[in-house]
Chain A
Amino acid sequence: EIVMTQSPATLSVSPGERVTLSCRASQSVSSNLAWYQQKPGQAPRLLIYGASTRATGIPARFSGSGSGTEFTLTISSLQSEDFAVYYCQQYNNWPRTFGQGTKLEIK
């Protein structure tokens, strides 16, 4: 099973700041990496797939990069609605696996 490790677990940031979240896979997942956003009481929402492609309707301030085992999600200028938990997921191998999540908190 591929283990996905996200860092940091929690990030305290101010609106307007630029943030970078990291995700590492225990073995190569090629570019088959997705990022999801989950707000309290809501289902996860697909943000990025193929490591760097924004899903439909996702604002341009969200960008993804990486391949193989190292990936990042960058939010260029945090908006109030971006404070949430972010999960990475590999869908290259079975079983599909998720990282443990990074929580973005308001500083």
Chain B
Amino acid sequence: QVQLVQSGAEVKKPGASVKVSCKASGYTFTSYGISWVRQAPGQGLEWMGWISAYNGNTNYAQKLQGRVTMTTDTSTTTAYMELRSLRSDDTALYYCARGSHSGNPYPFDIWGQGTMVTVSS
């Protein structure tokens, strides 16, 4: 079946980096893109950015520009999201979600199970 499986929970200190993975299966990886969405405890959904698994094009949320990098490995059908210079307000559940490969309008039709990232000294 079509699914996205994410890596496990992480605990990081302020200033550190975290890299979360999202393994896709059940569909042609390069025919879609991956968006990353985060949700702070008790809060709503925040879009972080998108990467095309077709050509590697990216689009990042302005507030995260310079701290976030999204990549894909087509040989393993895995997407990655790296967030640097972590702060306490980066503590959140991080989701990957399937979207368009081209950047054209497309909903997030498949979601990963989420990865909890806790930033604490």
- Partner-B contacts on A (CB < 8 A): 30, 32, 34, 36, 43-46, 49-50, 55, 87, 89, 91-92, 94-101
Contacts and interface: CB of A to CB of B under 8 A. Distances in A.
B27 interface: no
Of all A-B residue pairs in the complex, the 9 with the closest CB atoms, nearest first, are: A49-B107, A43-B111, A34-B107, A32-B105, A98-B45, A96-B47, A100-B44, A91-B105, A46-B109
A30 B113 CA distance: 30
- Band of interface residues on B: 20 to 34
Contacts of B107: 34, 46, 49-50, 55, 89, 91
A100 B112 CA distance: 21
Contact of A34 (B37, B46, B61, B108): B108
A96 B35 contact: yes
Given A32-B105, A95-B61, A96-B35, A44 B111 contact: yes
11 contacts: A34-B108, A43-B112, A44-B108, A89-B108, A91-B108, A94-B59, A95-B47, A95-B59, A96-B35, A97-B47, A101-B44
